């Protein structure tokens, strides 16, 4: 089975470098353009996927819409694919966070796996819901070696997949080469593990 992870297009909050987790912010004009361009490119080089999943947050469903139109697929909404919740730190910039809650922020930066923002999530909690959903997907699709599934999600979710499922090391979360807004990552399940494949022909520079 092949799995294409797509990171949603840009929002104004991303551009302003704010902590954007469960806040339901729409794409900006650039993000909409990124979504349309990626859909055009993927539809030209890939056969029709069997399913199109997306986080239920607006920026992901908006990114998924051009893909759904190109392939004639419904968007399957998946709350488990939401970004990490930053709780009380939602929509703050790093500078604002350091002014308002520097001590707790320092603890979180030192150990984001067990520590969480106030009223937010730890990386372990994010990983628990993402891993649970991904295992169910593998159970459903394990016999379909030639199928391709598409998931539109968030930077944190895709980083978790890269660190835990591709590199088998959660501590690599902050060190993996993340996926940019409106970009894609292709992985294949060989029956035992995931491995990354190259997506040929995609033009970069839209992020």
Active site residues: 8, 83
Instruction: Report DSSP letters for 50-114, one per residue.
Output: SEEEE-SSHHHHHHHHHHHHHHT--EEE-GGGPPPP-GGGTT-BHHHHHHHHHHHHHHHHH-TTT
Backbone CA torsion sign across 54, 155, 131, 108: negative
Report the relative pairing of strands 148-153 and 51-54 from DSSP bridges. parallel
Phi/psi at 112 (nearest 5 deg)? -70, -10
Phi/psi at 4 (nearest 5 deg)? -105, 115
Rounded Cα gap, residues 178 and 154, in angstroms: 10
Query: Which strands, in side-by-side order, build the sheet including 75-77?
Result: 75-77, 51-54, 148-153, 2-7, 184-189, 194-197
For residue 51, list its beta bridge partners. 149
CB–CB of 198/186 below 8 Å? yes
CB–CB of 7/154 below 8 Å? yes
């Amino acid at each position: 089975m092949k799995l294409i992870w797509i990171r949603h297009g840009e929002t104004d909050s991303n551009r302003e470098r704010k902590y954007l987790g469960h806040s339901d912010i729409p794409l900006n004009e650039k993000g909409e353009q990124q979504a349309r361009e990626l859909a055009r490119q993927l539809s030209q080089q890939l056969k029709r996927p069997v399913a199109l999943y997306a986080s239920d947050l607006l920026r992901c469903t908006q990114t998924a819409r051009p893909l759904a139109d190109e392939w004639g697929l419904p968007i399957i909404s998946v709350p488990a694919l939401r970004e990490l919740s930053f709780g009380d730190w939602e929509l703050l910039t790093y500078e604002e966070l350091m002014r308002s809650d520097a001590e707790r922020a320092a603890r979180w930066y030192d150990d984001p796996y067990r520590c969480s923002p106030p009223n937010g999530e730890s990386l372990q909690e994010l990983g628990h819901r993402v891993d649970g959903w991904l295992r169910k997907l593998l159970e459903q699709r394990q016999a379909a070696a030639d199928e391709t599934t598409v998931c539109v999600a968030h930077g944190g979710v895709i980083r978790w997949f890269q660190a835990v499922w591709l590199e088998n090391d959660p501590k690599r979360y902050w060190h993996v080469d993340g996926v940019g807004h409106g970009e894609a990552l292709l992985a294949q399940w060989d029956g035992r593990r995931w491995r990354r494949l190259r997506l040929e022909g995609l033009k970069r520079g839209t992020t």
